[in-house]
Structure 1
């Protein structure tokens, strides 16, 4: 296919509440949406999910936007693309979230051109028609946490991830476990524990978590190896794994038992597929995260979560939990705890361009 037109929408979406982790608090989500159109008029959409500040990974949204507009997208315009994965060999594809956004847009257009879903293009295996949603709760006070858990249990959610920090993370998780002894529960520390706080981490072992995500704010994969040797709770790596090489290093060291996979963080679906293959080969569990993204990116995670050997339900909840209006139709909806996996061509959903323009603070067109 030949790309004849490219659009970049810089969105700023107000969030319905402040989402807090140990590293940041967000009231708005800025993101970039890329739209590519080929010579036959097929369009595809992808999202660059980097944050404005480098609290999650080093890549930032301003860096991504500059690279896209100055180098990557001019190179793509009028380019003959045999398969979207070929862009990963380009020398200017230096940022993973930027590369993922471009790849995802091309994959959506490529799949629509061939009247196939994205999963049919990438995975030749049976998937589930519906998946369980998973709730992520930020760094809230305990009373609010317990209220929120009760609320979302009534909506059918069965798996809860709690953002924690060293000074009160164990106490919160212990209180939740006492109230809900059978709850599918995990903690996410976002690299907030220091070396002298390891004893506090070891106390978490008594709580029966399904995993503990990214606790360490120091050291390397060898530090995780040493911690995993001391803990029965499975350690889950997220932002520590951005490349296939880093995943292989973690596997070889036995630094974790679980990996959280996010399309943007690892650079695109080409790399997600390779990482899933590595996890399957080495018997490391994987499951699907999310980036507080619009439905353009999140629906890809819904698709991936439909693979039958996911370890646990992913970080996937209704679009309306975060935003008053999403940019896809139909929006992602959790009903009785489950999400329907769309089966149409490409992403399986349509992009609401009126919503894109409504949220846009900058709109560029290359043709």
Structure 2
């Protein structure tokens, strides 16, 4: 396979609501869509899901774009490639979200070229035909949280993730559990607690949470280990785990019990598979998150969440929740809380080129005639 042309679409998609966490608030989602074409005119798509500001990881959309143009794409354009994972042999992952976007486009292209689904190509194991959807609730006031839970329960959703912070996390959970004592509930603190607030975190045990995601604003896995010994609620790690080395260190430290896997965060599906294999070997539960992303990246997470041993319904919901119009056809639909996993080649969906063009604020083509 030879990559003849790569196009970068820097897009700006208006969100249906202002999405708030303890670290940031976003009303527009900017990402970079990568379209790769081979010598036979096959195409594949990937998405770079870094944010404009470094509140999630240090990588920003600007740094992703820069390394793609100046380094990553130059390493693959017009080069013979036996397999898309070959890029990981030759390139560093200093910008994992940029690397993932490029890798995902090449994997989609290669799978379509060989008339395979991505899951058949990468995992070659039995998967589910449908998955349970899950809702992420931003850092909202109690009244709005309760309303959204009620609304989304009526749509069939059964699992809710709530963004919390020390100032009001306990009170919000108390209010939710009073009205909804048995819903599947987990929380994401986005590293907003420090270790000295351990007693505040311990108070959350009473709410029967599936897990607490990223509780500590610390990179010290020994602090996580000490916290996990003190609380009943399983600790889930997300942005603390960006590399295989991070994961091995956290496992060795007994720092957590659950891993949230996001393909962009870890540098591609190549590394996501390695992490899943390591979780399976180490008796760590794993599940699939999302990045407030377009359907190009989210449908790949839907595919990944179809693995039979994922432990929690993912952060995966209908396209319409976030965007008036997505850039894939068909869009992602959660019906009665269930998402059907597409069965076509590659990502299993097509790209709405017209809508992609409407959202594009900058365009770069590398290679081609």
1:75, CA displacement in angstroms? 2.4
Contact 1:163 1:189 in 2 (8 A): yes
Deviation per residue, 1:7-54 (Å, 9 max, x gap): 000001111110000000000000001000000110000000000110
Structure 2 counterpart of 1:307: 307
1:350, CA displacement in angstroms? 0.2
Q: Which runs of 5+ in 1 are unaligned?
A: none
1:189-338 to structure 2, matched below 5 A, reads: 189-338=189-338
Aligned counterparts of 2:219 and 2:362: Cα–Cα separation in 1: 39
1:181, CA displacement in angstroms? 1.1
Aligned counterparts of 2:256 and 2:234: Cα–Cα separation in 1: 7
Aligned counterparts of 2:93 and 2:280: Cα–Cα separation in 1: 27
Aligned counterparts of 1:314 and 1:184: Cα–Cα separation in 2: 12
Distance change in 2, residues 1:93/1:249 (3 Å) = closer
Contact 2:72 2:91 in 1 (8 A): no
Aligned counterparts of 2:328 and 2:293: Cα–Cα separation in 1: 12
Structure 2 counterpart of 1:110: 110
Deviation per residue, 1:55-107 (Å, 9 max, x gap): 00001100010111122112221011111111012235421101100100000
Deviation per residue, 1:177-228 (Å, 9 max, x gap): 1211111000100000123322110100111100000010135111100000
User: How many residues align structurally?
Assistant: 367
Contact 1:211 1:235 in 2 (8 A): yes
Contact 2:99 2:268 in 1 (8 A): yes
The reply on whether 1:77 has 2:77 as its aligned counterpart is yes
Structure 2 counterpart of 1:4: 4
Please, what TM-score do these two structures have when normalized by structure 1? 0.99
Aligned counterparts of 2:310 and 2:93: Cα–Cα separation in 1: 29
Contact 1:327 1:353 in 2 (8 A): yes
Deviation per residue, 1:108-161 (Å, 9 max, x gap): 000000000000001121111110100000000001100100000000001000
Contact 1:10 1:30 in 2 (8 A): yes
1:162, CA displacement in angstroms? 0.2
Aligned counterparts of 2:93 and 2:201: Cα–Cα separation in 1: 38
What is the DSSP-based 3-state SS (H/G/I as helix, E as strand, rest coil) of the residue aligned with 1:4? strand
The reply on whether 1:140 has 2:146 as its aligned counterpart is no
What is the DSSP-based 3-state SS (H/G/I as helix, E as strand, rest coil) of the residue aligned with 1:74? coil
What is the DSSP-based 3-state SS (H/G/I as helix, E as strand, rest coil) of the residue aligned with 1:64? helix
Aligned counterparts of 2:343 and 2:55: Cα–Cα separation in 1: 35
Contact 2:139 2:164 in 1 (8 A): yes
CA RMSD for the aligned pairs?
0.8
Aligned counterparts of 1:202 and 1:327: Cα–Cα separation in 2: 42
1:238, CA displacement in angstroms? 0.2
Aligned counterparts of 1:198 and 1:188: Cα–Cα separation in 2: 16
1:325, CA displacement in angstroms? 0.7
Structure 2 counterpart of 1:364: 364
Contact 1:327 1:355 in 2 (8 A): yes
1:39-118 to structure 2, matched below 5 A, reads: 39-118=39-118
Aligned counterparts of 2:301 and 2:186: Cα–Cα separation in 1: 19
Aligned counterparts of 1:299 and 1:283: Cα–Cα separation in 2: 27
Aligned counterparts of 1:75 and 1:209: Cα–Cα separation in 2: 45
Aligned counterparts of 1:195 and 1:250: Cα–Cα separation in 2: 17
Aligned counterparts of 1:15 and 1:319: Cα–Cα separation in 2: 11
